[in-house]
Amino acid sequence: MTGTLDIVYAEYNYWIYVTLMMIGFYAMIAKKNLIKKVIGANIFQTAIFLFYVSLADITGGTAPILPHGGEHVEHAADVIYTNPVPHVLILTAIVVSVSTTAVALALIIRIYNEYGSLDEDVILAARKSLQPEFSEYARQKGVAEVGDQ
Amino acid sequence: MKTLALLVVVITGVMLIYAGQDLPPFGDSNTDMYQHRMTQYFIENSESESGVSNIVTALLANYRGYDTLGETTVIFTAGMAVMLLLRRRET
Amino acid sequence: MSRIQESVIIRTVVRIMVPFIELFALYVIIHGAGGPGGGFQGGVIFGAAIILYAMIYGIAEGKKKMSDALDKILASTGLTIYAGTGLLCILFGGMFLQYGSVPLIPDNPALVSKYLIDLVELGIGTTVAAVMISLFFDVSPPESEEGELPDYEGVDV
């Protein structure tokens, strides 16, 4: 039992990220509001970022920035640097995350202007009334009654 | 529907926790990832090769420069896409 | 015009702070080679300064500082600086983005590389700042005379 407890204590950061990821994943699947789906995707992405950055961390390590210029490199061997490679990966991922969020929000604004709602079911029902062959899902759901507004 | 979503999420979480037991402890420096020769190479040689004391910048702009160019293109394309979607024409 | 936008304190503080935020953004961009910083971070800070100004003084006033045309020009200029630096390296016989091949300073490819990385970071910062500002202006609603939200045609809110 103590072995399990040790593992839980030594790797507590991963459990936090798994929880955070589950929250974001649930919001993406279960919520009907499109804005809440985007927020869920962002929570999900944040969990991945934190996971990578925590993989890079070294106890007692400092930021991967070498001191001053090239003259002082001789004592650089004493200093422990954290792993710079995941930081670079995540810098890329954050930028992509911002871009996808911006495009998603712009699409949601256009959807709202078009259908007057952010609710997934209402939008699907409105699409069904416009193009009946286009939304098999909405017909199966039987949400035609909310599509009249 | 909500219970199904919750079930899927919980199953995913349990699988991740099960897989995560093999991950290195927090702050461990004896991992394969840190002791890998590429990581050590970047820490030792990035300044003499690119003249930049910030290793992250050296990696970002020098070793992965092509990737960063694509990344800048991504954010530029996102800006243009939002502009095309939302900008109202002056008529 | 909301109550926050009418507050004298906020308007004065924003007017004083915006140049300093922009200066800090340039510092972060240029400092990317020697310390914490970089083009993406500095670009976002620069964009935040203009967005703060536009939030308090109104969209129309903000567009006087950064017009739509200037936005587009800056966004593509930053990308051109980056790609142009890569092509410059090809011109001097190196590979794409192989900074050391440019004979800017003789016998010191590392120093040339440092300056060209600064140039590249400046390009990234320009693009990111311009795109952030254009995103804000695109998402914000057009201002009518009374400052109310416009009613979109055929939409029940």
Q: What is the 3-state secondary structure (H, E, C) of C77-136?
A: HHHHHHHHHHHHHHHCCCCCCCHHHCCCCCCCHHHHHHHHHHHHHHHHHHHHHHHHHHHH
Answer with the residue of higher pLDDT: A62 or C150: A62
C touches which chains (3+ CB pairs under 8 A)? A, B
Q: Is 70 exceeded by the pLDDT of residue A55?
A: yes
B touches which chains (3+ CB pairs under 8 A)? A, C
* The predicted structure's pLDDT at residue C107: 83
The first and second tokens of residue A10, run together, are 């030594």
Q: Do A85 and B17 touch (CB under 8 A)?
A: no
* The predicted structure's pLDDT at residue C109: 86
Which of 44-83 (B) contact C at CB < 8 A?
A: 47-54, 56-58, 60-62, 65-66, 68-69, 72-73, 75-76, 78-80, 82-83
Answer with the residue of higher pLDDT: B22 or C28: C28
The answer to whether residue B7 sits within a structural domain is: no
Exposed, middle or buried, A48 (CB in 10 Å: 0-12/13-18/19+)?
Answer: middle
Partners of C153 on chain A (C-beta within 8 Å) are none
* The predicted structure's pLDDT at residue B52: 87
**Cα-to-chain-centroid distance, residue A108:** 18
The first and second tokens of residue C116, run together, are 């060209």
Q: Is 80 exceeded by the pLDDT of residue C2?
A: no
Look at the block and give the residue holding tokens 């219970």: B3
Smallest Cβ–Cβ distance between B82 and the set A14, A15, A103 belongs to A103
The first and second tokens of residue B73, run together, are 């293109």
* The predicted structure's pLDDT at residue B1: 80
Tell me which amino acid residue A126 is: A
The answer to whether residue B6 sits within a structural domain is: no
Quote the mean pLDDT of chain B. Answer: 88
Span A6-17, mean pLDDT? 82
pLDDT digits (tens, 9 = 90+) for B51-85: 888 899 999 988 999 999 999 999 999 999 999 99
Secondary structure (H, E, C), B48-80: HHHCCCEHHHHHHHHHCHHHHHHHHHHHHHHHH
* The predicted structure's pLDDT at residue A39: 96
The answer to whether residue B36 sits within a structural domain is: yes
Number of domains in chain B: 1
pLDDT band at A148 (very low <50, low <70, confident <90, very high): very low
Span A96-104, mean pLDDT? 94
* The predicted structure's pLDDT at residue A149: 42
The answer to whether residue B79 sits within a structural domain is: yes
pLDDT digits (tens, 9 = 90+) for A113-141: 888 889 988 988 887 777 766 556 555 66
pLDDT band at C25 (very low <50, low <70, confident <90, very high): very high
Span C17-30, mean pLDDT? 94
Chain A nearest-CA distance from C108, in A, is 13
pLDDT digits (tens, 9 = 90+) for C87-137: 999 999 888 888 888 888 888 888 889 899 999 999 999 999 999 999 999
Interface check C36 vs A, CB under 8 A: yes
Cα–Cα distance for residue pair C116/B61, rounded to 1 Å: 9
The answer to whether residue B71 sits within a structural domain is: yes
The answer to whether residue B38 sits within a structural domain is: yes
Q: Is 70 exceeded by the pLDDT of residue B89?
A: no
Range of the domain at B74: 32-91
Q: Is 60 exceeded by the pLDDT of residue C157?
A: no
The answer to whether residue B55 sits within a structural domain is: yes
Chain B nearest-CA distance from C9, in A, is 33
Partners of C35 on chain A (C-beta within 8 Å) are 65
Cα–Cα distance for residue pair A138/A5, rounded to 1 Å: 48
Q: Is 60 exceeded by the pLDDT of residue A100?
A: yes
Question: Above 0.85 for ipTM, yes or no?
Answer: yes
Which of 43-72 (B) contact A at CB < 8 A?
A: 43, 47-48, 51, 53-56, 59-60, 64, 67-68, 71
* The predicted structure's pLDDT at residue A103: 95
Per-residue burial over A74-111, b if 16 or more Cβ lie within 10 Å, else e, is eeeeeeebbbbbbbbbbbbbbbebbbbbbbbbbbbbee
Quote the mean pLDDT of chain C. Answer: 86
Partners of C120 on chain B (C-beta within 8 Å) are 61, 65, 68
* The predicted structure's pLDDT at residue A135: 55
The answer to whether residue B9 sits within a structural domain is: no
